[in-house]
C-alpha cells in the first residue's frame, strides 16, 4: 500500500483536531485525516456556546466549582483547573483570529445555561461551533501548512515496540499507511450507537474502539450524557436528531408536560437550569407518567426575539410547521455526549507513547459523571493546545514502522452480507437505547450484553470494507459501555441504575478503566 510520511498525524477535524493541527504545523509537516468532509463533526453542530469565565463578576474558581458540582463527585479537579484557567487565553486568541461572537453594543453577550451560576456562555447566535470551526479552518488554510485528507477513515493504529508510529486509513476507498512522530486522535464521540442521538453520522466511536484494540486503556465508559431537549417529530427516528440548545432554557424557556403543566420545579430547586442528567431524567419520567413520547418547551418567557437569538432553531422548527414565537416545541431526550473514552493524562497522552487523544474521544476525568453545559468546546480548545505542545516537545524522532502489511483483504461486501451488517448496526442502536439508555438496571444490561454477544460474528470478518469496519467499532464501544455500566452498581451523574438508586461514595467514588490485555474484566 502507499506510504506517506509526516511529522504529525491528526485524525479528526473538529475544534480539538484543528487546534492541535494549527499548533503542530509550526513544528513539522502535519496532516489531518477526516472521515467525511472537513466540517462534518460534532463541532459544526454545536449550538449553545463556549463556557469561559471572562465576565467581571465571574472567575475561573466559580467556573471550576460549577464544573465539579455537575460532575457529581467524579471530576479530576486538577484537569478542571487547567480547563478554566487556560481557557480564557485561548478564547481570546480565537477572537483575535476573527471569531465573531455575539455582542450587545461593544461588549460580548454571555448567556446562561443549566448548572452555571454565572452568565458565562459566549456564543455566535445558535451556531457557535460552526463559527469556531470556520475561524480555525480559514486560519489554517491561509497559513497553508497543513495537508487535509477528507473522506479518509481510520482503520488501524500502527504500534511498534510499544510506540505508536502511525496509522492505516482508507483514503477514498484505498488503504494508505501514514507514518509520523506522533498520532493525535480527535475523532469525537460515539452517539450513533444509540438509536436516539444528536450526533452526526460519523460519530461511531472509531477512535475509542481502535485505540482499545491497539492496547490503550479506556476509562469511564459507563457515562453517556443524554441531552434533555431534541426536536421530536415522531418515529421512526432519523440517524441524528435536531438539538434544541440548552441556551433556550438559559434565556427563560420552560418545560411543560402534555397537559401544559410546568414540572421541573417538582424535580430540582433550579428547575429548568438543573444539571442535564436531572432534566433528562425528569422529562423521561414525565413521558412515562403521561404515556407520551415527548414534552414541550415553551419560549414565551424568552425576553430576546427568539428568531434573532436562535435563527438555526427557528428555521428548523419552521420547516416542521412549528413557529417558536407562538408554538410549543415538542422535545425528548437523546444521547448527546460521551464522558468516557481513551484514558489520557492532562497533556492528552494515552497509555501508548506517541499516541494522543483530545476532545470527546479522550477521557482524563475532566467532566466526571456529567459534563457541564458548553464545556465541550473549551475542552477541545484547551487540550488541543496542550497535546500539540507536548507532542512538539517530546515526539521528535520518527520511530521504525512495522513491516508493511502483505495480506490483501476483500474490500467489497456481497449484497446479503451488507444487509446483515446494516441489520446488525440497527440492532446495536436499538439494544443500547432500550437497555443502556437513560434508566438502567441489571436485567436490561444483561439483555443488552446477550444481544451484543450474538453479534460478535462481526469481529471475525477480515474484510476491509468501511461499512463493516464502522459497525465493528460500534459493537466494540457498545460492548465496553455495557460492561462498565453493569460493573458500577450505584447511581451517579448520567449513570442511573434503578436497582442501585443511591450514590455510593464509599466504594464508587473512583474511575473504572480497562485495557484489552485485562483478562479478569473490570
pLDDT in tens, 8-61: 999 999 999 999 999 999 999 999 999 977 766 667 667 779 999 999 999 999
Report DSSP letters for 113-130, one per residue: -TT-SS--EE-STT-HHH
Quote the pLDDT of residue 258.
94
Quote the pLDDT of residue 402.
62
Task: Specify the higher pLDDT residue, 234 or 192.
Answer: 192
Q: What is the pLDDT of residues 235-281, one digit of tens each?
A: 756 666 888 988 899 899 999 999 999 999 999 999 999 988 899 99
Please compute the mean of the pLDDT values over residues 353-378 and round it to a whole number.
96
| CA proximity to 48, closest of 118, 98, 120, 137 | 120
Please say whether the beta carbons of 33 and 10 come within 8 A: yes
Which of 276, 281, 371, 492 is an active site residue? 276
Per the structure block, which three cell numbers stand in for 289?
Answer: 407518567
List phi, psi (to 5°) of 268. Answer: -160, 145
Give percent above pLDDT 70 in the chain: 94
| Residue/partner pairs of 268-272 with CB below 8 Å, 24 or more apart | 270/114, 270/115, 272/114
- Cis bond upstream, residue 224 (ω within 30): no
List phi, psi (to 5°) of 176. Answer: -130, 140
Residue 173 pLDDT level (bands cut at 50, 70, 90): confident
Taking the C-alpha atoms of residue 357 and residue 152, their distance in angstroms, rounded to an integer, is 18
Dihedral angle sign, alpha carbons of residues 511, 513, 519, 522? positive
Q: If DSSP states are collapsed to H, E and C, what string results for 15-79?
A: HHHHHHHHHHCCCCCEEEECCCCCCCCHHHHCCCCEECCCCCCCCHHHHHHHHHHHCCCCCCHHH
Residue 400 scores a pLDDT above 90: no
Query: Which CATH superfamily, name and number, covers 2-222+339-394?
Result: FAD/NAD(P)-binding domain (3.50.50.60)
276 catalytic residue (yes or no): yes
Task: Specify the higher pLDDT residue, 337 or 410.
Answer: 337
Quote the pLDDT of residue 403.
63
Please say whether the beta carbons of 360 and 207 come within 8 A: no
Residue 411 pLDDT level (bands cut at 50, 70, 90): low
CATH numeric code, 232-333:
3.90.700.10
List phi, psi (to 5°) of 422. Answer: -65, -35
Quote the pLDDT of residue 408.
46
Radius of gyration of the chain (CA): 22
Distances (CA, A) of 316 to 1, 310, 320, 384: 44, 10, 7, 32
Residue 521 scores a pLDDT above 70: no
Residue 291 scores a pLDDT above 90: yes
Distances (CA, A) of 303 to 120, 191, 309, 424: 18, 33, 10, 47
Average of per-residue pLDDT values in the chain: 92
Q: Is the model's pTM score more than 0.75?
A: yes
Please compute the mean of the pLDDT values over residues 433-438 and round it to a whole number.
96
Cell 510506540 -> residue: 163
| CA proximity to 341, closest of 520, 145, 185, 171 | 185
| Residue/partner pairs of 485-489 with CB below 8 Å, 24 or more apart | 485/221, 485/222, 485/436, 485/440, 485/445, 486/442, 486/445, 486/446, 486/449, 487/222, 487/512, 487/521, 487/522, 488/222, 488/512
Measured in whole angstroms, how far is the alpha carbon of residue 489 from the centre of its chain? 24
At residue 182, the 3 state secondary structure works out as strand
Q: What is the bridge-based pairing of β-strands 329-338 and 224-231? A: antiparallel
Lowest model confidence (mean pLDDT) among 228-242, 305-319, 326-340: 228-242
Taking the C-alpha atoms of residue 344 and residue 127, their distance in angstroms, rounded to an integer, is 29
Dihedral angle sign, alpha carbons of residues 319, 321, 325, 330? negative
Strand-pair partners of 363: 343
Please compute the mean of the pLDDT values over residues 154-168 and round it to a whole number.
94
Residue 405 scores a pLDDT above 90: no
Please say whether the beta carbons of 136 and 43 come within 8 A: no
Per the structure block, which three cell numbers stand in for 307?
Answer: 428568531
Best CATH choice for the domain 415-504 from the list 3.80.30.10, 3.40.190.10, 1.20.58.100, 3.40.50.10470: 1.20.58.100
Residue 520 scores a pLDDT above 60: no
Per the structure block, which three cell numbers stand in for 86?
Answer: 487556560
Pick left, alpha or beta for residue 146 (phi over 0 → left; psi -120 to 50 → alpha; otherwise beta): beta
Please say whether the beta carbons of 33 and 11 come within 8 A: yes
Residue 406 pLDDT level (bands cut at 50, 70, 90): very low
Please compute the mean of the pLDDT values over residues 108-113 and round it to a whole number.
91
* Domain ranges, ordered by start, for the chain: 2-222+339-394, 232-333, 415-504
Amino acid at each position: 500500500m502507499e506510504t506517506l510520511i509526516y511529522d504529525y498525524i491528526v485524525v479528526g477535524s473538529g475544534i480539538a483536531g484543528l487546534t492541535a493541527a494549527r499548533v503542530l504545523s509550526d513544528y513539522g509537516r502535519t496532516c489531518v485525516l477526516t472521515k467525511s468532509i472537513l466540517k462534518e463533526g460534532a463541532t459544526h453542530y454545536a449550538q449553545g456556546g463556549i463556557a469561559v469565565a471572562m465576565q467581571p463578576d465571574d472567575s475561573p474558581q466559580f467556573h471550576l466549582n460549577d464544573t465539579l458540582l455537575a460532575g457529581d463527585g467524579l471530576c479530576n479537579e486538577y484537569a478542571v483547573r487547567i480547563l478554566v484557567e487556560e481557557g480564557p487565553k485561548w478564547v481570546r486568541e480565537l477572537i483575535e483570529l476573527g471569531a465573531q461572537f455575539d455582542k450587545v453594543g461593544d461588549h460580548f453577550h454571555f448567556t446562561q445555561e443549566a448548572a452555571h451560576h454565572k452568565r458565562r456562555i459566549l456564543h455566535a447566535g445558535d451556531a457557535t461551533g460552526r463559527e469556531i470551526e470556520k475561524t480555525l479552518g480559514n486560519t489554517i488554510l491561509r497559513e497553508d501548512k497543513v495537508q487535509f485528507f477528507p473522506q479518509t477513515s481510520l482503520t488501524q493504529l500502527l504500534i511498534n515496540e510499544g510506540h505508536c508510529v502511525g496509522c492505516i486509513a482508507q483514503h477514498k476507498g484505498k488503504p494508505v499507511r501514514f507514518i509520523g512522530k506522533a498520532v493525535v486522535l480527535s475523532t469525537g464521540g460515539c452517539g450513533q450507537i444509540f438509536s436516539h442521538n444528536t450526533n452526526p453520522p460519523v460519530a461511531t466511536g472509531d477512535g475509542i474502539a481502535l485505540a482499545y484494540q491497539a492496547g490503550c486503556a479506556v476509562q469511564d465508559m459507563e457515562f453517556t450524557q443524554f441531552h434533555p431537549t431534541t426536536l421530536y417529530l415522531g418515529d421512526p427516528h432519523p440517524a441524528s436528531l435536531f438539538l434544541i440548545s440548552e441556551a433556550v432554557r438559559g434565556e427563560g424557556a420552560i418545560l411543560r408536560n402534555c397537559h401544559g403543566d410546568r414540572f421541573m420545579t417538582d424535580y430540582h430547586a433550579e428547575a429548568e437550569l438543573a444539571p442535564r442528567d436531572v432534566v433528562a431524567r425528569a422529562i423521561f419520567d414525565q413521558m412515562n407518567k403521561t404515556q407520551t413520547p415527548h414534552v414541550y418547551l415553551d419560549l414565551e418567557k424568552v425576553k430576546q426575539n427568539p428568531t434573532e437569538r436562535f435563527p438555526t432553531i427557528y428555521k428548523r422548527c419552521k420547516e416542521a410547521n412549528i413557529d417558536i414565537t407562538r408554538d410549543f416545541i415538542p422535545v425528548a431526550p437523546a444521547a448527546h455526549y460521551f464522558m468516557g473514552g481513551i484514558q489520557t493524562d492532562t497533556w492528552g497522552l494515552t497509555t501508548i507513547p506517541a499516541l494522543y487523544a483530545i476532545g470527546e474521544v479522550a477521557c482524563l476525568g475532566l467532566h466526571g459523571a456529567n459534563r457541564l453545559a458548553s464545556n465541550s468546546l473549551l475542552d477541545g480548545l484547551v487540550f488541543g493546545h496542550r497535546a500539540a505542545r507536548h507532542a512538539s516537545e517530546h515526539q521528535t524522532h520518527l520511530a521504525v514502522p512495522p513491516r508493511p502489511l502483505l495480506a490483501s483483504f476483500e474490500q467489497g461486501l456481497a449484497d446479503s452480507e451488507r444487509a446483515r451488517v446494516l441489520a446488525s448496526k440497527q440492532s446495536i442502536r436499538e439494544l443500547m437505547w432500550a437497555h443502556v439508555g437513560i434508566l438502567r438496571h441489571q436485567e436490561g444490561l444483561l439483555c443488552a450484553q446477550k444481544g451484543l454477544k450474538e453479534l460478535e460474528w462481526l469481529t471475525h470478518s477480515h474484510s476491509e470494507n468501511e461499512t463493516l469496519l464502522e459497525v465493528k467499532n460500534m459493537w466494540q464501544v457498545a460492548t465496553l459501555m455495557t460492561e462498565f455500566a453493569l460493573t458500577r452498581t450505584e447511581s451517579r451523574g448520567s449513570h442511573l441504575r434503578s436497582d442501585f438508586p443511591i450514590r455510593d461514595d464509599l466504594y464508587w467514588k473512583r474511575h473504572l478503566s480497562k485495557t484489552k490485555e485485562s483478562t479478569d474484566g473490570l
